[in-house]
Amino acid sequence: MNTAIRGRSRPVYMDHAATTPARPEVVEAMLPCFSERFGNPSSLYALAREAQVTLEKARGQVAAAIGASPEEIYFTSGGTEADNWAIKGVAAANRKKGDHIITSAIEHHAVLHSCRSLEKQGYRVTYLPVDEFGRVEPAAVEEAITDATILISVMAANNEIGTIQPIAAIGEIARDRGIPFHTDAVQAIGAIPIDVDSMGIDLLALSGHKFYGPKGTGALYIRKKTRIGTFMDGGAQERGRRAGTENVPGAVGLGKAIELAVAAMPENVTRLAAMRDRLIREILETIPDTRLNGHPTERLPNNVNVAFRYVEGESILLMLDALGIAASTGSACTSASLEPSHVLTACGLPPEHAHGSLRLTLGSRNTDEDVDYVLSVLPRVIERLRKMSPLTPERYT
């Protein structure tokens, strides 16, 4: 029995949807901003002007990555702040116009909890259902629109199951109806091409540490003329909309990371998708009573999410951890809420299946050998846990 947890162990990080290591070039670009070019961009002397130039260069890099203008990019502390600002800011600025927001049931908590917070203030929110693959139907967005709708917010790609949403179709609907469209693109940057104009996007949230940039950095894209409230009151930084001395090293790291991520995208997507497809295929082939969560084709190139019946996700994770593998689960047991993942539940997965989900998200340092290693140990981990489970049918034990 213990053979499953002994033998050669190999450190394999497959949780890139949680966070990524900063690229050396990113760290290198940031370093001078801490103690040499440390000026406050708001000041007037040369050192400050230099910081200002550095900051604006980073803003240009972020803008170029998504087809925006630099003056439409606002630096934030991350994806969560960008989502909060987009949703609460648009809601506040359009309160007289209406009180209805449309979003999906599988959004990140940064979006969902922002919407819940608005509901407490009297706003009404429609949480669109998804199909079994986690896709939002654009027609459902259209049907949900009322005269009071002031915002549509649908993520570009889901963090748990990797399903890519029909963003351009939803953006077109929003544009036709004159409703601001926000997308949480935190998982999408560097994985799928994003162009705010052709996709009809008015607001977009992104986060540096998801694409090999620094933690604590992010940005909100706000299309010109979009009505939105101020997020932080204080100084005149970020065109007076997000006060606080700029995180110049962070912005520089973010700019460098997004530039590299977009440049490397074609090559990365091909490489990661090949590993992803092999993982999915071989896991489903070698382990019985296993299903793929998320969409078979419209999914992020690095995302594998499978549900193993009769076993529980946290147990899988801890055994994989003992073997050197870092992964994630949608099981309740890793959260304080004791509720299984809202994403898997929205896809119609019964709770007992949702508890046995495993997410592997690939990244730049993963190799075919990593995939071989995961495929060599995962069946033994599942078998071992199934032997312990009273739910496992006798044919497996």
Task: Give the interface with other proteins as residue ranges (CB under 8 A).
Answer: 2, 5, 310-312, 314-315, 318-319, 322, 331-334, 336, 338, 340, 350-352, 355, 387-391
203 and 226 Cβ atoms separated by less than 8 Å: yes
- Tell me whether residue 347 is one of the annotated catalytic residues: no
- For residue 363, which of 281, 280, 262, 272 has the smallest C-alpha distance? 272
Distance of CA 229 to the CA centre of its chain: 24
Residues 5 and 195: beta-carbon distance below 8 Å: no
Shortest Å distance, C-beta 393 to other proteins: 13
Q: What are phi and psi of 308, to 5 degrees?
A: -105, 125
Residue 340 beta carbon to other proteins: minimum distance, rounded to whole angstroms? 7
Q: DSSP letter string over 47-103?
A: HHHHHHHHHHHHHHHHHHHHT--GGGEEEESSHHHHHHHHHHHHHHHTTTT--EEEE
Q: How many CA atoms lie within 13 A of 206 on its CB side?
A: 30
CB of residue 318 to other proteins, shortest distance in Å: 5
Q: Whose CA is closest to 329, among 341, 347, 311?
A: 341
- Minimum CB separation of residue 159 from other proteins in Å reads 21
Which is the catalytic residue, given 33, 115, 333, 347?
333
The residue (of 237 and 315) whose beta carbon lies closer to other proteins is: 315
Q: Residue 282 or residue 383: which is nearer to other proteins going by CB?
A: 383
> Nearer to other proteins by C-beta: 4 or 102?
4
The nearer residue to other proteins, 110 or 319, going by C-beta atoms, is: 319
57 contact partners, CB below 8 Å, separation of at least 6: 252, 255
Looking at the annotation, which residues are catalytic? 333
